[in-house]
Chain A
Amino acid sequence: MSVYKGIHLRSIFLTLTSHVIVLGLGYGIAQNLKREVDTQKEEAPLRTQSSNRSTDSTDGDGPELLAEFRKDFLQKKSRYEELKESLQPAADLRAAAISTIEDWENNRSGQDHIESESMMLVRFYHWLRVNPREAMEYLSAPQAGEDSLKSRELLSKLALNVLPDVAREKRVMKSIGWLTSNPVGILPLWKTLISEMKDGGGLALFLRVENELAEISKPWLEIGAEPHGREALRQAGASIQLSEKDSLLDYVKLQGETDRAINLLLGFAGTSDAAATWVLGLVERQELPVMVARRLQGGLGNEALKQNGMDMEKRIAARRFTDGNGKKLRENILGELVANDVRRLLNEGRDWRFEFRHGSASLDDILTSMEGALKIPDEGRDAAQIALYRTLSEENPEKALPLLDSLPEDRRREIMFSNTWQSYGNVNPDDFIAFVKKLPAPETEKEIQDRMKGWEWKVRGSLQRYGDDYIEWVAALPSNPDKYAAINSIIWATRERNPAKAAALNQRFYPKKP
């Protein structure tokens, strides 16, 4: 390499380096500026005007951003949880807990209420962990607050998370004593019991707790006492394993006709199709005491409603037990069961309604999923399609319409017209009017009545939800029979509550000629 060439290369190298440095400097300055802007933005007041810049959007980065966002908020801990992990217990647990009450009291509706409340909760958590009886005694006495209302509010705050947290750590059997010292402890007791039953304790644990509670004589301890008892017992029943069914039967026979026995059985029946079939079998084979079976039947029909996996004939038999179903036509009961299965699939599984509304799931996708997830007998196919139509039409009426293609024309029309009142509850009124506008011209008295009924049913709820805005919305509709159907329904609905206002509306929409 010649000297000249060496100098030239060095010069090129230096020039390039200096350019890269300048480029980097420019980049750095801009980044700093941007950080400043971002910081200012964070501190900026609420933006109530969207930017006028409009660029095409994409979901190119969307999935990643969404995943990042979800990860963040799902991991986010409540302030109570954060403090529970980070705050060291004070030397004097009792004094530290009591000293937080005043601050919590003063900040109940202020900006700092979350901080002061969380601090109060954690200080009591510390005290309860070490000396639960003493803490509960303090909380149950009037000095906990200036008056009984404050004392109750304080306890109800603690009952939500703190008492169950402490009980979970100590286990339910070791928490019965202190939790039962105040009625507020009953819900946390149930919560802990049910969670431990689910974790393997099962019916055996329930029986141990029940025995223990029988030794304590307090009115609020009667298992099954309202208001929480029924639901708690159902949940306890739902935490019993299928393998424990024989012990459950022994227990129920021993108990006789009690809320305890009936609700445990019903809760258990709701756990699986096998459990529901087993409970139904007990009733059919008359293995249960007569009064237990009688009280159980209505609820059992409702459980069968939820068990798509159960044999259809058994479901129908169970449904017949519920009020009003005894003499119902078989096909009607079957239709109700299938329709309910479809609605449950749409509400509890994947978010099909939302995906259908936004076009990311097609009718075929949903039908395929339905076929895979539900057992639908041939005679229930129409009912399934109709139930699917009634729900999906609210999201996209035109795309849902092919669901009715397999029906005879008069049945198809009947479903479409009755959809005005059987569906579209609580939807955006603009969506409802869009649906109504696309209905074919009514040809029969029944079709006219159905359409009218649609308005009558919508108006009552809409007036409650949108208030006077709904009246203005109706007033702005083009003058056609739908508008007058809505106006008449508004006047009638208003008349029941406020005759003077109804009269004013009547005058507004039907002015008297001078």
Chain B
Amino acid sequence: MSRLKTIAFAASHVVFGLIGFLLATRDTGPAPRSPRATPSLSKNQPDGTRWIEKSSGLTHSLRPLKNWRGSEHVMAWNALCRAKLSTKDRIQTQRELLKSWAKVDLAAAMRAALDEAWDSDDEQHYNATGPLVDAFADAFASHPEESWDLIQNGGFGIGSSMLRQVWIQTIGTKAPLLLAALVKDLSPNDREMAVNVCASGTWYSLNKETQTKLLEQFAALPANIISSEQLADFLTMDPEEMGASALREELLHIQNPADRIAAAKAVVLGRLLAPAPTEEIAAAIADLPQPLKQDILISALDTGVSMTGEKLTSLLDLLVAENTWEKLGKRQVPGMLLASSRNGNARQIADWVTTIPFRKEATEMFYRGVETYLSDNMETSKEWIAAIPSQEWRDRAYATYSQGALNAKKDPTASRWALDHIQDPVFKSEAERWRLNWEKKRAIPSK
């Protein structure tokens, strides 16, 4: 064989080898879509339908099921809309596909899930995160840190809140200490959920060691991140067994009343005392240090959210006397006053709110306290307002009257009468703005 022939012979073999190699490595399915390409699952077509664009020319996958990549999942996912399944079967299949897909491309699977309807099509799978998103629970549990980063930075829009809920529920059950470490960085809503999940975990798993660690971890955080009420759920003692008097004794001898665990115990004492008559509560807290007194009273108030009438106002009198305004302002007191008013105590509640000192934290209590009485007595309450001793409260009663006239009675003339009685010019302009908002709402145009 000549040299040239030898080269040609060798070269042709190399070429054939390469062809063989290329034939084998040719991708047999489409590549998984890019993070922004996957949302094109929802790309709006000219006729308004949402689906991935079609193309052709694919060969059959050679990969067995267990080796599926993103591309196979995309194809199977897209085929669902022509599979003519029942809603129940479709959702079941989607959930299984998502679980499998999440193992190879969590980001794409999450986008695909969020692209579907968020309500419960078959009314079987409804939960706060819709029918599909909780299918990621296992993926989150297997890779907590990576999945958390993805949820936070993946650009999932408002859908990320549902993903976060599933993550929090899952990790809170499987690895509460990991979740606890994140708590301080969460938004208030998520934080509340996270602490609740950790707490429920300690109830059912009865793992004292984890419970103690959680208590330590949470007690180290400031009260604006985790409240004493939340902390109380992690106490390792059984308050029911311990009883109110033993707990009171313990708190009497507490070394450092600012200690967060002492505050959590005070919360528990408040819960135990809540059903007792107000005089008994007053007697039980009399000798205790000031901050703990406040915690106990606030906790009694939180426990008795459905209390009404005298029981409610007498407990509030104790809270006012203890100067608990900061905490009181954050409670549902306005809602409790409103509920009590609507429950046949409108005049008693309205009278009581005029007795509290005028201050910022009390204004919402005042508004909700007088609202029902004023709206139900548009004529006779005019005299009642005029007799309120404090000018600040009187002005606010006129403003509430105006709002009632507008919203409940659709009576702008009565509203004007009330607004014109307000004496403080600064507050009057605020009350006028409320009226303006009402007018704007009524004049809502289309776009």
Residue of A15, A26, A61, A353 near B19 (CB, 8 A) is A26
State A58–B335 Cα separation when bound (angstroms). Answer: 56
Residue of A23, A429, A473, A512 near B20 (CB, 8 A) is A23
Say whether, besides A50-B38, A354-B81, A442 and B86 are in contact (CB < 8 Å). no
B442 in contact (CB, < 8 A)? yes
B103 in contact (CB, < 8 A)? yes
On chain B, the residues within 8 Å of A484 by CB distance are: 437, 440-441
On chain A, the residues within 8 Å of B254 by CB distance are: none
Residue of A25, A62, A495, A498 near B79 (CB, 8 A) is A62
Contact A27 B24 (CB under 8 A): yes
Contact A59 B446 (CB under 8 A): no
**0/1 per residue, B1-39, Cβ < 8 Å to A?**
000000001001110111111111100011111110110
Residue of A19, A54, A427, A510 near B12 (CB, 8 A) is A19
State A34–B28 Cα separation when bound (angstroms). Answer: 12
Residue of A23, A50, A60, A359 near B70 (CB, 8 A) is A50
Contact B58 A58 (CB under 8 A): yes
Contact A55 B31 (CB under 8 A): yes
Contact B205 A30 (CB under 8 A): no
Within 8 A of B (CB), among A7-62: 15, 18-20, 22-31, 33-34, 38, 41-42, 45-62
B188 in contact (CB, < 8 A)? yes
- Return the chain B residue nearest A32 by Cβ: B24
A499 in contact (CB, < 8 A)? yes
- Return the chain A residue nearest B160 by Cβ: A469
Contact A498 B24 (CB under 8 A): no
On chain A, the residues within 8 Å of B30 by CB distance are: 55-58
Interface size in chain A (residues, C-beta < 8 A): 106
Residue of A26, A59, A351, A440 near B121 (CB, 8 A) is A351
Say whether, besides A25-B17, A46-B103, A427-B119, A69 and B76 are in contact (CB < 8 Å). yes
- Return the chain B residue nearest A359 by Cβ: B49
On chain B, the residues within 8 Å of A141 by CB distance are: none
On chain A, the residues within 8 Å of B123 by CB distance are: 347
On chain B, the residues within 8 Å of A503 by CB distance are: 364
**0/1 per residue, B73-91, Cβ < 8 Å to A?**
0111111111111110110
Residue of B17, B97, B149, B441 near A485 (CB, 8 A) is B441
Contact B78 A57 (CB under 8 A): yes
**0/1 per residue, B140-168, Cβ < 8 Å to A?**
00110011011000100111111000000
State A410–B427 Cα separation when bound (angstroms). Answer: 44
B118 in contact (CB, < 8 A)? yes
Residue of A53, A394, A495 near B31 (CB, 8 A) is A53
Contact B75 A497 (CB under 8 A): no
Contact A65 B440 (CB under 8 A): no
Residue of B61, B162, B330 near A499 (CB, 8 A) is B330
State A49–B159 Cα separation when bound (angstroms). Answer: 18
In the complex, how many angstroms separate the beta carbon of B286 from the nearest chain A beta carbon? 29
Residue of B31, B69, B329, B444 near A448 (CB, 8 A) is B444
- Return the chain A residue nearest B61 by Cβ: A61
- Return the chain A residue nearest B59 by Cβ: A61
On chain B, the residues within 8 Å of A485 by CB distance are: 441, 444
- Return the chain B residue nearest A56 by Cβ: B55
State A42–B103 Cα separation when bound (angstroms). Answer: 9
Contact A430 B441 (CB under 8 A): no
Say whether, besides A46-B106, A54-B31, A470-B158, A427 and B17 are in contact (CB < 8 Å). no
Stretch at the interface among A251-259, A283-291, A395-403: A395-403
Contact A49 B83 (CB under 8 A): no
Contact B105 A465 (CB under 8 A): no
Residue of B50, B116, B139, B332 near A359 (CB, 8 A) is B50
In the complex, how many angstroms separate the beta carbon of B254 from the nearest chain A beta carbon? 28
On chain A, the residues within 8 Å of B364 by CB distance are: 495, 499, 502-503
Name the prevailing secondary structure of the B interface residues: helix
Say whether, besides A45-B143, A47-B106, A357-B117, A26 and B329 are in contact (CB < 8 Å). no
A464 in contact (CB, < 8 A)? yes
A350 in contact (CB, < 8 A)? yes
State A178–B122 Cα separation when bound (angstroms). Answer: 38
A349 in contact (CB, < 8 A)? yes
Say whether, besides A27-B24, A42-B67, A442 and B90 are in contact (CB < 8 Å). no
Contact A65 B66 (CB under 8 A): no
State A248–B161 Cα separation when bound (angstroms). Answer: 52
- Return the chain A residue nearest B333 by Cβ: A499
Contact A354 B90 (CB under 8 A): yes
Contact B444 A48 (CB under 8 A): no
Contact A49 B50 (CB under 8 A): no
B295 in contact (CB, < 8 A)? no
Tell me the number of A-to-B contacts counted with CB atoms below 8 Å: 325
B206 in contact (CB, < 8 A)? yes
State A501–B329 Cα separation when bound (angstroms). Answer: 10
State A1–B289 Cα separation when bound (angstroms). Answer: 119
Contact B82 A442 (CB under 8 A): no
Contact B58 A61 (CB under 8 A): yes
In the complex, how many angstroms separate the beta carbon of B393 from the nearest chain A beta carbon? 17
Contact A395 B107 (CB under 8 A): no
On chain B, the residues within 8 Å of A24 by CB distance are: 20
State A375–B151 Cα separation when bound (angstroms). Answer: 48
A468 in contact (CB, < 8 A)? yes
Contact B158 A473 (CB under 8 A): yes
Contact A51 B50 (CB under 8 A): no
Say whether, besides A50-B35, A485-B444, A27 and B21 are in contact (CB < 8 Å). yes
**0/1 per residue, B98-135, Cβ < 8 Å to A?**
00101111111000001011111111001010100000
Say whether, besides A46-B106, A73-B96, A31 and B67 are in contact (CB < 8 Å). no
Residue of A15, A70, A109, A425 near B173 (CB, 8 A) is A109
On chain B, the residues within 8 Å of A350 by CB distance are: 84-86
Contact A469 B147 (CB under 8 A): no
Say whether, besides A56-B30, A428-B118, A38 and B52 are in contact (CB < 8 Å). no
State A28–B47 Cα separation when bound (angstroms). Answer: 47
A91 in contact (CB, < 8 A)? no
State A57–B74 Cα separation when bound (angstroms). Answer: 8
State A60–B123 Cα separation when bound (angstroms). Answer: 32
Contact B146 A46 (CB under 8 A): yes
On chain B, the residues within 8 Å of A357 by CB distance are: 49-50, 117
- Return the chain A residue nearest B205 by Cβ: A109
B421 in contact (CB, < 8 A)? no
Within 8 A of B (CB), among A419-433: 425-430
Interface centre among B30, B84, B143, B206, by most chain A C-beta atoms within 10 angstroms, is B30
Residue of A48, A73, A359, A498 near B106 (CB, 8 A) is A48
On chain A, the residues within 8 Å of B189 by CB distance are: 467-468
State A266–B12 Cα separation when bound (angstroms). Answer: 82
Say whether, besides A360-B82, A427-B117, A60 and B58 are in contact (CB < 8 Å). yes
Within 8 A of A (CB), among B227-260: none
Within 8 A of A (CB), among B307-331: 329-331
State A147–B444 Cα separation when bound (angstroms). Answer: 63
Say whether, besides A54-B34, A396-B49, A65 and B79 are in contact (CB < 8 Å). yes
In the complex, how many angstroms separate the beta carbon of B170 from the nearest chain A beta carbon? 11
Contact B53 A48 (CB under 8 A): no
State A354–B86 Cα separation when bound (angstroms). Answer: 10
On chain B, the residues within 8 Å of A480 by CB distance are: 447
Contact B158 A429 (CB under 8 A): yes
A377 in contact (CB, < 8 A)? no
State A315–B285 Cα separation when bound (angstroms). Answer: 64
On chain B, the residues within 8 Å of A47 by CB distance are: 104-107
In the complex, how many angstroms separate the beta carbon of A486 from the nearest chain B beta carbon? 11
Within 8 A of B (CB), among A446-460: 448, 451-452
Contact B447 A347 (CB under 8 A): no
Apart from A63-B79, A488-B441, A498-B330, list 14 A-B contacts with CB within 8 A. Answer: A26-B17, A33-B25, A48-B143, A48-B147, A48-B154, A50-B35, A72-B65, A351-B85, A354-B80, A426-B120, A430-B158, A465-B161, A468-B187, A503-B364
**6 A-B pairs, CB-CB below 8 angstroms?**
A46-B142, A46-B147, A65-B76, A354-B121, A359-B81, A495-B364
Name the 6 nearest CB pairs between A and B, nearest first: A359-B49, A26-B20, A62-B79, A467-B189, A56-B55, A441-B446
